[in-house]
């Protein structure tokens, strides 16, 4: 259930410019607290933030440098791996060439020449790739070229001629001289490969050492930066908590209590610089709001009371003046109607129409008079007025009233108009089939509840009349709340104080 309350004041300074309804005095707001800020809090925050930013910037500079070194080393390590992989493939090609030619020389079978030819075909591409990968190191590039030249010489000067000889004269290809020459060439190539691989592994180890050093440097910088940042952050957070967060929490709690209607709350003014100004400003604002609410509540009570008095005066004037004259006119017309001779039926019918029209106008005037201010409320009290209201309601009403004595007139008037507006809304907007009105006096409070079984979905806006009721209820210190879930009916509840002596004096 949502409580229909309007804020007492919208801003601490705006309401001081309002004209008092009763005294007609234009009040000026009290002087705001002097905004004396020496910059102590701001200066501390700037210094602490600068130190923290310096530590973080230095840490990130070292980290960025280390990360760059690591990325460079990582690229070099990947390149070394690729160089070793290509060198291994190239060495395997040499092995395939040597194995293929040996198998053909020994057996004469053509199947041994297939891997021999495939290895020769793949050799130029692998040799070119090895030289390109070793281009960033002149020594390694020179070794790669020597390996390429040695393998090229082995293929063109030894392997191809040996295979050709084996095709025509297998015995000549199997001589010791031919075998020894091939062994020497293979040993030379393997020696070049071993030197190349060993050198590349040495380069990779050196790169790994640089990578490890960069990683250690990054870890040390990160640890130092983290420790310094944590220490400075803890000190800064402790200071902020003591100098800002705690006073701001107190101000926030005060603001919450102010929003809840407790305008008498105050906070100690112990803050420094801007925080002290904030505390003094909130206390000053609370004092201004409290004074404004007292003046506004008193003015609203006087306005409502003046409106009720005007309603009663208009109702009495209508009842004692126009209504009585209309009644006299109706009686005169009825007498005139009775005195018309039977020979004049047209005149009699005309008098009947005029008398009926006046009777209808009199009924309308009585209904209007009851809407302005029901006389039965002043004469018989709230209980009788509610019974009369229930009888006139367009929606059937179940009435449950528990009031032993007469209540203060402002309370009876407020309760009656709440019930009247709720029943009118139930008939016009809710499509209700029945309404329940319950009134009970408990101690110093009067509780009024109006429920219907209509379509629900009512809101305090869109011309429902609840805004005016809220003003009337709050003028006497009461509360009003509305619950209207769509499809579940509407419930309007009002709590009013019965004892108004202290309130009226305020």
pLDDT in tens, 340-375: 788 788 887 887 788 778 787 766 666 565 556 677
Q: What is the pLDDT of residue 371?
A: 58
Contact of 45 with 37, CB cutoff 8 Å: no
Q: For residue 501, is pLDDT > 70?
A: no
For the residues 210-229, what does the mean pLDDT come to?
Answer: 81
- Give backbone dihedrals phi and psi of 335, rounded to 5 degrees, phi first: -65, -45
Taking domain 381-506, whether its CATH number is 3.40.50.10490 is answered by no
Confidence of residue 235 (pLDDT cuts 50, 70, 90): confident
Give φ, ψ of 44 to 5 degrees: -65, -45
Does residue 502 carry a pLDDT above 60? no
> Helix %, strand %, coil % for the chain, to 5?
70, 10, 20
In the chain, the percentage of residues whose pLDDT exceeds 90 is 7
Longest dimension (CA), the chain: 170
pLDDT (tens digit per residue) in 11-61: 443 443 443 333 343 344 444 444 444 556 677 777 777 887 888 888 778
Mean pLDDT calculated for residue range 388-399: 88
What is d(CA 213, CA 223) in angstroms, rounded to the nearest whole number?
Answer: 15
Q: Which fold has domain 40-236?
A: 1.20.120
Quick check: 181 and 158 in contact, CB under 8 A? Answer: yes
Which H or E element spans position 361? Answer: helix 345-372
pLDDT score of 504 more than 60: no
Burial class (CB in 10 A: 0-12, 13-18, 19+), 321: exposed
Q: Strands across the sheet with 445-452, in order?
A: 2-3, 479-483, 490-497, 445-452, 435-442, 397-402
What is the average pLDDT score of the chain?
A: 78
Chain segment 272-289, per-residue pLDDT in tens: 777 778 878 888 888 888
What pLDDT shows up at residue 452? 92
Domain boundaries along the sequence of the chain: 40-236, 381-506
> What radius of gyration, in Å, describes the C-alpha atoms of the chain?
53
Q: Which of 160, 162, 86, 161 is nearest to 128 (CA)?
A: 86
CA-to-CA separations, 17 to 21, 34, 39, 292, 308, in angstroms, rounded: 12, 21, 33, 10, 27
Res 107 pLDDT > 70? yes
Using a pLDDT cut of 70, give the percent of the chain over it.
82
Q: What is the pLDDT of residue 438?
A: 92
Say how many CA atoms lie within 13 Å of 144 toward its Cβ: 25
| 118 pLDDT higher than 80 | yes
Q: Is the pLDDT assigned to residue 186 strictly greater than 70?
A: yes
What is the pTM assigned to this prediction? 0.43
Q: What is the pLDDT of residue 405?
A: 84
For residue 259, count CB atoms less than 10 angstroms from its CB and return exposed for 0-12, middle for 13-18, buried for 19 or more: exposed
Residue 151 has pLDDT above 60, yes or no: yes
The pLDDT score that the predictor gives to residue 380 is 82
Is it the case that residue 437 has pLDDT exceeding 90?
A: yes
Give the pLDDT score at 316.
65
pLDDT band at 294 (very low <50, low <70, confident <90, very high): confident
Residue whose structure tokens are 């005169």: 332
Nearest 5 degrees, angle CA 372-CA 375-CA 376? 125
């Amino acid at each position: 259930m949502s409580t229909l309350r309007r804020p007492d004041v919208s801003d601490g300074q705006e309401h001081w410019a309002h004209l008092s309804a009763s005294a007609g005095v234009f009040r000026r707001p009290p002087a705001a607290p002097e905004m004396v800020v020496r910059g102590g809090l701001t200066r501390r925050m700037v210094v602490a933030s600068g130190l923290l930013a310096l530590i973080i910037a230095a840490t990130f500079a070292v980290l960025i440098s280390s990360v760059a070194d690591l990325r460079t080393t990582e690229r070099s390590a990947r390149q070394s791996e690729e160089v070793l992989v290509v060198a291994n493939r190239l060495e395997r090609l040499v092995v395939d060439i040597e194995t293929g030619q040996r198998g053909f020389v020994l057996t004469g079978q053509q199947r041994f020449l297939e891997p021999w030819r495939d290895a020769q075909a793949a050799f130029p591409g692998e040799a070119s790739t090895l030289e390109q990968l070793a281009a960033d190191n002149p020594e390694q590039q020179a070794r790669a070229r020597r390996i390429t030249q040695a393998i090229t010489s082995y293929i063109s000067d030894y392997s191809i001629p040996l295979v050709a000889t084996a095709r025509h004269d297998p015995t000549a290809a199997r001589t010791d001289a031919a075998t020894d020459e091939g062994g020497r060439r293979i040993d030379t190539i393997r020696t070049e490969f071993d030197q190349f691989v060993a050198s590349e592994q040495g380069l990779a180890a050196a790169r790994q050492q640089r990578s490890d050093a960069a990683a250690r440097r990054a870890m040390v910088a990160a640890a130092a930066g983290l420790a310094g940042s944590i220490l400075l952050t803890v000190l800064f957070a402790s200071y902020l908590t003591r100098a800002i967060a705690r006073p701001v929490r107190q101000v926030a709690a005060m603001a919450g209590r102010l929003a809840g209607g407790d305008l008498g709350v105050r906070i100690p003014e112990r803050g420094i610089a801007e925080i002290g100004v904030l505390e003094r400003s909130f206390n000053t604002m609370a004092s201004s709001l409290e004074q404004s609410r007292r003046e506004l509540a008193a003015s609203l009570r006087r306005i409502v009371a003046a409106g009720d008095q005007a309603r009663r005066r208009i109702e009495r004037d209508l009842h004692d003046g126009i209504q009585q004259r209309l009644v006299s006119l109706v009686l005169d017309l009825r007498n005139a109607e009775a005195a018309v001779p039977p020979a004049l039926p047209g005149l009699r019918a005309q008098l009947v129409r005029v008398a009926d029209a006046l009777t209808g106008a009199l009924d309308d005037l009585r209904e209007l008079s009851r809407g302005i201010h029901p006389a039965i409320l002043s004469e018989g009290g709230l209980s009788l007025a509610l019974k009369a209201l229930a009888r006139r309601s367009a929606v059937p009403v179940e009435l449950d009233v528990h009031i032993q004595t007469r209540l203060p007139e402002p309370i009876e008037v407020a309760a009656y108009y709440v019930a009247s507006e709720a029943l009118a809304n139930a008939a016009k907007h809710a499509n209700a089939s029945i309404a329940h009105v319950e009134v009970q006096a408990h101690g110093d409070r009067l509780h009024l509840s109006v429920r219907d079984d209509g379509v629900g979905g009512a809101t305090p806006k869109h011309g429902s009349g609840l805004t005016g009721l809220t003003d009337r209820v709050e003028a006497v210190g009461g509360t009003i709340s509305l619950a209207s879930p769509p499809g579940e009916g509407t419930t309007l509840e009002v709590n009013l104080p019965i004892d108004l002596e202290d309130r009226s004096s305020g």
